[in-house]
A and B are shown apart, each in its own frame.
Chain A
Amino acid sequence: MRDRVVVVDDHEAVRETLRDLIEGHPRFEVVGEAESMSQALRVVHEQQPNLVLVDLILGPGPHGIQLTKGIKAQLPLCPVLILSGRHESLFAEQALLAGAAGYLMKDDAVDILFDAMEVATAGKIWLSGSMLRYLLPTSIVPTATLGDLHDAVDRALVAELQRGNRSVIGLARALSVAPPRIEERLVAIQHKLGLPSRAALYLFVG
């Protein structure tokens, strides 16, 4: 059974060629397309995909990062990959914090798209080597391990993060805990592990 993919881009040519390329891969099939945030949320709700590819800029309306939050609120475990012509150093971290499973620059995407899709559908985060080093530098030495987390909510949170559930709303729903408490625990875990940012936490855990 192939992974079901929805493609969201405001350029028809991009959607068509992405569909053609993906359809030729034995592991994936395109089950829906959209060109705007509202249309994308409707298609995602109808199709319940395993993966959504989202363009960062969707015309003059809300952009891909806002859409990512919306998708993760609907389907917390559905990975979202953001594709963009804008450089990763500008938006990749925001994308991760919104719950995306990766950020691909269109300049490089043609060669790495399927690798990224496979990593994302496995619940992991896909980023370029330079972004990984930027967000989680090798100079960072965590002050604790995941095994040092004793709070039950914290352990459940980490388990959800490892499943690919990275939006606050999705985590709150999964654990039946209010979003402010989720935020509070994420900050606590980040500090306990000695990590410099939420994005670094997602990378470390994932």
Chain B
Amino acid sequence: MLHDVQTSVTFTTEGLTLEAPAGARRAEPGEVPDVLVATGPVPSPRSPRVAVLAVDAPVALASGADLACTTEELNRDPAGLLRQAWAIRRLTRPLADDPDAEWLAALQREIHADELALVRRHTPLGRLTLEALGNGARFRVAAPASAVEEAVGLTDADGLIGASLADREPTWVVAVVSRDGAEWVRRALPVVRAAVDARDRATLADRLAEARATTKHHDENIRKLLSVLTHDLRNVFFPIQLALKVLERQIGTPKQMGTLARSVATGSDLVRRLADATWVFGGEAPKRHPSDSSDLAEVCAKVQKRVRDRYPDAQLNIVDVVAPKVVSFSEPVLEGIVHTLVSNAVAHGGRAHLTCSYLPDGSARVLVRNEGRLPFNDLAQIEPFQHRARGGLGLGLYAAHHLAAAQGLSLTVSNAADGHVEAVLTIPAEPTAEPGSTREAPPVE
């Protein structure tokens, strides 16, 4: 129990008479008291150990007194005020100067093991100390300034007499309690926990922000690498394409030329997909520009050429229905999306139909239908390599979804009633005021 801990406060007086109350004794001659009770200015110099209780001298607070009161208050509760002055003085002294380590040990004996363990868990750096102080206790917690408000806010609810930022360092929160009994020690713990939690949260928030910045930096580096790689790959394929043109002129188109041409077309195609993926994974899928304009007939023609260069034997039927064909969206993005849908259909299904149609409301609809047997679910996932025989990685469709969303278009993929896969790209007649967000692509149905 705390009565095992020294509770007696020694005092001297200056300018007034005070009988020693219970729990306090007058200091012996030559003994440095715990508290000086004075009516005048704070003596200087003074021992940092000595608390000053100024009586009927409020201005003494400004000159270094630890506590001020009236004569009437002093007569009413001299022991309490002496202890309070002493407690406040202790708070302003660095811990290293405090010789009363036995108090801390005594208090630690009083607190249950699980409570102490709880507090210790919150302070892995060991910066929390508990000290016994008369029949009060002092807690110091390393916490950010925001924790001060939190600790102070809990003060009244927990019945603490006061909480103050006693130390000049902004990272310390000190709760001062001065009630008897071990009960208030347990009550003080929520304050400490709140302060520790606030500190931990701030630390976690700092670490999270740091981790986010690091991740963003890494992502930016990856995006730059992909961008440079895409550019450099184009410079590999461009001269090959030029050389093929020269060879065609010189030697015609033997079978090997066809093989070369298809391989180059495949490589170029993959580079374009890499560029699309770089946009999407870098969070930079292009948004619609007010001046964007595309001729769907030209888009379909370009897609047809790219697909046939890569898959000469593919069966691709294009049905283009009635003008107007110009829509207010980016041509390279539309071409990229439609090409992904068509090449998916051709690569995994063998045959594809591409239909452009126009609805009464002025919107356009591009339908790509494959007649293969690709299981639909594979299109929605990025599969491990061992399943590549059944389907692709799904990456192209993923990128297509995000590109479409960034432009404010709608892309859905579903199983038709006859089991074939249908992809529908809906192009609104009038773009919406806000382009689609790249964060949430339309779900695959």
Binding site for B on A (CB under 8 A): 11, 13-14, 16-18, 20-21, 24, 57, 85-87, 89, 106-107, 109-110, 129-130, 133-135, 137
18 new A-B contacts at CB < 8 Å, known A107-B272, A110-B238, A137-B291: A11-B239, A17-B246, A20-B242, A21-B245, A24-B250, A57-B231, A86-B231, A89-B289, A89-B330, A106-B235, A107-B268, A110-B242, A129-B298, A133-B293, A133-B326, A134-B291, A134-B292, A135-B291
Contact: B332 with A17, CB < 8 Å?
A: no
A13 & B245 in contact (Cβ 8 Å cutoff): no
Contact of A24 among B241, B246, B289 (CB under 8 A): B246
| CA distance in complex: A57, B228 (Å) | 11
Could you say which of B239, B241, B246, B331 has the most chain A C-beta atoms within 10 Å of its C-beta? B239
Cβ A110 vs Cβ B235 within 8 A: no
Per-residue CB contact flags for chain B residues 80-102 toward chain A (1 = under 8 Å, else 0) read: 00000000000000000000000
Nearest-Cβ distance from residue A91 to partner chain B, whole angstroms = 13
- Least CB distance from A87 to B in Å reads 6
A-B interface contact total, Cβ < 8 Å: 68
B339 vs chain A, min Cβ distance (A)? 12
By a CB distance below 8 angstroms, the chain B residues around A130 are 293-295, 298, 331-332
**Which residue of chain B has its CB nearest to the CB of A108?**
B302
Minimum C-beta distance from A58 to chain B (A): 12
From known contacts A21-B245, A24-B246, infer whether A14 and B234 are also in contact, taking CB-CB under 8 Å. no
> Can you sample 10 A-B contacts with CB below 8 Å?
A16-B239, A17-B243, A24-B246, A89-B286, A106-B235, A107-B268, A110-B241, A130-B293, A134-B292, A135-B291
A110 to B264, CA, bound (A): 12
Given contacts A130-B332, A137-B291, A137-B293, contact A109 B238 (CB under 8 A): yes
Report the minimal beta-carbon distance from A62 to chain B, rounded to whole angstroms: 17
B3 CB–A CB distance under 8 Å: no
B231 & A20 in contact (Cβ 8 Å cutoff): no
**Interface flag for B387 (CB, 8 Å):** no
Known pairs A86-B231, A130-B331; A110 contacts B239 (CB<8 A):
no
A18 cross-chain contacts in B, Cβ below 8 A: 239, 242
Give the residues in chain B near A85, CB-CB below 8 Å: 230-231, 234-235, 238
* Per-position 1/0 for B197-233, Cβ under 8 A of A: 0000000000000000000000000000000001100
CB distance from B253 to the nearest CB of A (A): 15
- B46 in contact (CB, < 8 A): no
| Dominant SS among interface residues on chain A | helix
- Which residue on chain B has the smallest CB distance to residue A10? B235
The reply to whether A21 and B246 contact each other, CB–CB distance below 8 Å, is: yes
B239 partner, pick from A14, A133, A135, A137, beta carbons under 8 A? A14
Quick one: given A57-B231, A85-B231, A134-B292, are A106 and B243 in contact (CB under 8 Å)? no
| Residues in A whose Cβ lies below 8 Å from that of B255 | none
Q: Which of B270-319 contact A (CB under 8 A)?
A: 272, 286, 289, 291-295, 298
B291: A residues at CB distance < 8 A = 133-135, 137
Q: List residues of chain B with CB within 8 A of the CB of A110.
A: 238, 241-242, 245
Collect the chain A residues with CB atoms within 8 Å of residue B168's CB.
Answer: none
Is the C-beta of B439 less than 8 angstroms from some C-beta in chain A? no
B76 in the interface (beta carbon within 8 A):
no
**A9, closest chain B residue (CB):** B235
Of chain A, the residue at the smallest CB distance from B298 is A129
Question: Given the complex, which residues of A lie within 8 Å of B241, measured CB to CB?
Answer: 110
Tell me, in angstroms, the Cα distance from A155 to B333 when the chains sit together.
Answer: 40
Identify the closest chain B residue to A137 (Cβ): B291
Cα distance A10–B9 when bound, in Å? Answer: 88
User: How far, in whole Å, are A107 and B265 apart by their CA atoms in the complex?
Assistant: 10
Closest to A87 in B: B332
What residues of A have a CB within 8 angstroms of the CB of B246 in the complex? 17, 20-21, 24
Cα–Cα distance between A135 and B290 once the two chains are bound (Å):
11
Minimal Cβ-Cβ distance residue in B for A83: B238
Residue of A14, A57, A86, A87 touching B242 (CB-CB under 8 A): A14
B262 to chain A, nearest CB (A): 15
Q: Which of B235, B238, B326 has the most CB atoms of chain A within a 10 A radius of its CB? A: B238
Query: In whole Å, how far is A93's beta carbon from the nearest beta carbon of chain B?
Result: 10
Q: B residues 127-172 with Cβ under 8 Å of A?
A: none
Pairwise interchain contact B239-A17, C-beta atoms closer than 8 A = yes
Of the candidates A20, A87, A135, A137, which one forms a contact with B243 in the assembled complex, judged by CB atoms under 8 Å apart? A20
Residue of A nearest to B244 (CB): A110
Complex CA distance for A133 and B295, rounded to whole angstroms: 10
Q: Which residues of chain B are near A129, meaning CB under 8 Å?
A: 295, 298
**Chain B CB within 10 Å — which of A89, A107, A109 has the most?**
A107
Nearest Cβ on chain B to A164's Cβ, whole angstroms: 25
Residue of B nearest to A15 (CB): B239
Minimum CB–CB distance from A89 to chain B (whole Å) comes to 7
Considering the complex, give the chain A residue whose CB is closest to the CB of B227.
Answer: A86
Give the distance to chain B from A116, nearest Cβ to Cβ, in Å: 14
